[in-house]
Amino acid sequence: MNIQDLPIQIIEQIGKVQKIAFPRQGHTSIVAILDTPDKKYVIKKTENDLYNEWLSEEYKMLQYLYHTGLPVPQAYSYHVENKSRWLLMDYIDGISLREFLSKEPNLKDKEKAIFNFGLCLKKIHECSSHIELLKK
Ligand SMILES: Nc1ncnc2c1ncn2[C@@H]1O[C@H](COP(=O)(O)OP(=O)(O)O)[C@@H](O)[C@H]1O
Ligand SMILES: [Mg+2]
């Protein structure tokens, strides 16, 4: 993925992309961080039927979860282009829990981070009944 590949509809939405960077990649999509004069975005691209379907579900879930007040990126658009799908969302600055735990020397702070991670997961799971309804 490079700046020239980005769908024109997305460029029109976010403005000029000054820089594109690639974080450590996940497993089902290409993830890029886009710098614009306003702010940073994340764009995810998938290119096969199964992962396209998952990306579409991710878009719906992010839209739903955003309104629950959970700390998820705001999803702006889902774009279809031939066999590819693109999902545009906010960039959220941060590090993984694993990285935090390996660097943080204070035990109380580590415990706090694990507790908060668990709490967040619990809240997501509590949304699952609504999510099932959304799928219907
Ligand atoms: N909205 C975001 N803001 C910041 N970093 C992100 C965002 N989305 C993904 N990332 C980074 O990209 C990595 C891979 O993303 P992920 O959503 O897990 O991709 P995949 O669905 O391909 O597994 C994440 O572990 C994270 O570091
Ligand atoms: Mg992943």
The DSSP H or E segment spanning 31 is: strand 30-35
Domain count, the chain: 2
**Residue 123's domain spans which residues?**
94-136
pLDDT of 90-105, one tens digit each? 999 999 999 999 999 9
Look up the pTM and report it. 0.91
pLDDT band at 108 (very low <50, low <70, confident <90, very high): very high
**How many angstroms separate the alpha carbon of residue 99 from the centre of ligand 1?**
15
What pLDDT does residue 133 have?
67
Same domain, 49 and 77: yes
Q: What contacts 71, CB < 8 A, 6 or more positions away?
A: 92, 120
pLDDT of 32-67, one tens digit each? 999 999 999 999 999 999 999 999 999 999 999 998
**CATH number of the domain encompassing residue 5:** 3.30.200.20
Give the residue, by CA position, lying nearest to ligand 1 atom 23. 26
